[in-house]
A and B are shown apart, each in its own frame.
Chain A
């Protein structure tokens, strides 16, 4: 039995250069963990949406990236934290096409569709934390003689 690998990385979200950096780091980590290309792309896209939300609506914040191990399963948890005004009506904000920021209104609802687990915690006046988690799926990676 290996000891559980747990490492958390914290990245700032304060500019559009930071968004690019967040995308690169999520991509790299997801690839290292063995996420397939489509999963990587979905995860990076969701991260990009949520990081931009933290920047545009929350006035900036940070992302915490944690590698998860649960038995043989490996996953990645990303938390996007801002100390902005918070979301007044979460249900409305999760509606496709609803936007207050000049986007397409696909950020939150779209990000939720792209990952396995999605949690949103927002307190008006205090800020918003969105946490997404995805797990490496597909065939087990260990070197069993694959056909």
Chain B
């Protein structure tokens, strides 16, 4: 019974940005199921068709307020398909309340790397891919 309708963001596609040899995906607010599945497809396509080998995928979850079993499954499948395409996936910036809820829900996302924020995720990938030069970032956001 709220007077004004809350923000109802459209189900548009989630942008996938390339930072050197890493793909960065920032999830914000309400993600529709269809957009999550589209993202899985988009990331795989980007890895496969990228002119330079993609070493890793960083998914920034700091703007995500809930992860339910559907989104958890999509994240696990993104990581699994990226791994088959020779790229590692790191989940960055999960909120504490989301982490607590995921554990209680029974989802532990085995096989997925995590980092406290995007910067730490990038350094995690930088260390892992010794062949590729470390992405040089000078941004403070």
Contact = CB atoms under 8 A, between A and B. Distances in A.
Interface of A: 7, 9, 16-17, 19-21, 23-25, 27-28, 37-38, 40-42, 44-45, 48-49, 52, 96, 103-104, 106-107, 109-111, 113-114
B100 interface: yes
B106 A106 contact: yes
Contacts of B67: 45
Interface stretch (B43-51, B68-76, B119-127, B133-141): B68-76
Contacts of B100: 38, 41-42
A24 to B, nearest CB: 5
Contact of B30 (A20, A38, A40, A96): A20
A103 B101 contact: no
A41 B104 CA distance: 11
A44 B105 contact: no
B105 A7 contact: no
A16 B1 contact: no
Given A20-B8, A110-B106, 9 more contacts: A16-B11, A23-B66, A25-B6, A28-B6, A38-B100, A40-B97, A41-B95, A49-B69, A96-B106
Contacts, number: 87
A45 B71 CA distance: 11
B63 to A, nearest CB: 14
B2 interface: yes
Nearest to A65: B1
Interface in B50-101: 65-70, 72-73, 95-98, 100-101
